[in-house]
Amino acid sequence: MKKALFTAVLLFSLLFTSNAQVSLSLFSGVGRSSFDKSIFNDPTVQIADFSQASYVPVGAQLYFNLPFILSFGAEVNYAAVPYTFDVSFPINGQNMQVAELKAHQLMVGVVVKAKLLPGPIVPYARVGAGLVSGGIDLNWTDQFKQFAAQAGVTLQDSTINVKSAVGINLGAGVELNFSQSGGLYGEIVYYFIQRTPDISGASSFQANSYALQVGWQFKF
């Protein structure tokens, strides 16, 4: 741990002493999930109709832009509008929506960007890794609560605690630099994440997603 901390401090010291330009980016966008159904940790639910969900990311990126093609930075990414999944199940010959899942997600990590061409229009590729956290709200529909009550079962909305996990991401984008002080940028990023409910014996589930992120970059 001490060695990793020393390495990080040394890296940032080198960045500050190498005439690196600092930039701060603020962004938002729209994304789409690519989760799998094993989030339920129950084989009987594999026949459920599990919709994929849109979400709205918001976040910030702090980059140290080196004189050559590479930039090193930190990123915070939060699902301001969480992933909201509709879960349906065949009951009495009909497909009934039984629940709504809202997955909250916060990612804090590091990112490296490689600029492919110089100029005011700069295409780039990026790769990153980060710690992903956030739980899942399970909200039963009123219709299904009534159906369960007829069988003598009382359903209560609940929260599924999910362990934090390290995810990686890959993406590409383009900067539109209007001046030396900054400009617009847009990027497409795919996030690879595997998470596990915080329950003894629970299996992990795929929590991948992809997003189109658009923001403004301030250069200092």
Task: Give tens-digit pLDDT for 127-184.
Answer: 999 999 999 998 999 988 998 898 899 999 989 899 999 999 999 999 998 887 889 9
CA dist 149 and 143 (Å) reads: 10
Q: Which domain holds residue 175?
A: 2-219
Neighbouring C-alpha atoms within 13 Å toward the C-beta of 150: 5
3-class SS at 12?
helix
pLDDT one-digit tens code per residue, 52-95: 889 999 999 999 988 778 999 999 999 999 999 888 888 877 88
Q: CATH number for the domain including 33?
A: 2.40.160.20
3-class SS at 39?
helix
Q: How many other CB atoms sit within 10 Å of the CB of residue 149?
A: 11
Total domains, the chain: 1
